[in-house]
Amino acid sequence: MFGLTPYNKRGNGLVGRNDWFDMRSIFDSFFDDSFQSAFLTSGSPMKADIRETEKEFIIDAELPGINKEDIKLDLRDDTLTISVEHSEQTNEEKDNYIRRERRFGSFSRSFYVENVKHEDVSAKYNDGILTVNIPKAEAGKERNRKIDIQ
């Protein structure tokens, strides 16, 4: 007996039979690219430039606003992983106004780098750019190592 009656926004009236397809397009537009981009980000939060020279690989990763202590580098076999865990808290009090905000996020990115000298890998973090130097090695050696950031 009671139910929802579809309403046509364009014509100031009830939805006719042919306008049901319009209702479908409303649902389709709800799940369009703009909705997905807000929740299912296809881009990485970490932009990186990778260069290869005769002697080494160089990775420059952009991490603006991140503290060096929040970054972790791990080299296992032929995979370098850059991980970030960032937390931020804001407290502000004025008169009767109180504002408290918290934010936490983590992300990581892995790079395949084969035939590298694990013991000679170095990293530097300066002005929001993490630079990782990965010297090349002879094929066949595989080791695991944590890398300190200077």
pLDDT tens digit sequence for 48-102:
999 999 999 999 999 998 999 999 999 988 899 999 998 888 888 888 878 888 8
- 98 token code pair: 């109180």
Tell me: pLDDT of 13 over 90.
Answer: no
**Mean per-residue pLDDT, 102-126:** 90
Give residue 34's pLDDT: 46
CATH of 47-147, one of 3.40.50.2020, 2.60.40.790, 3.40.50.10490, 2.40.30.10: 2.60.40.790
Domain boundaries, the chain: 7-39, 47-147
24: enclosing H helix or E strand: helix 20-30
The length of the chain is: 150
CA distances from 23 to 12, 26, 31 (A): 15, 5, 13
Dig out the tokens for 15 from the structure: 């939805």
Average pLDDT, the chain: 77
Report the C-alpha gap between 101 and 104 in whole angstroms. 10
pTM value?
0.60
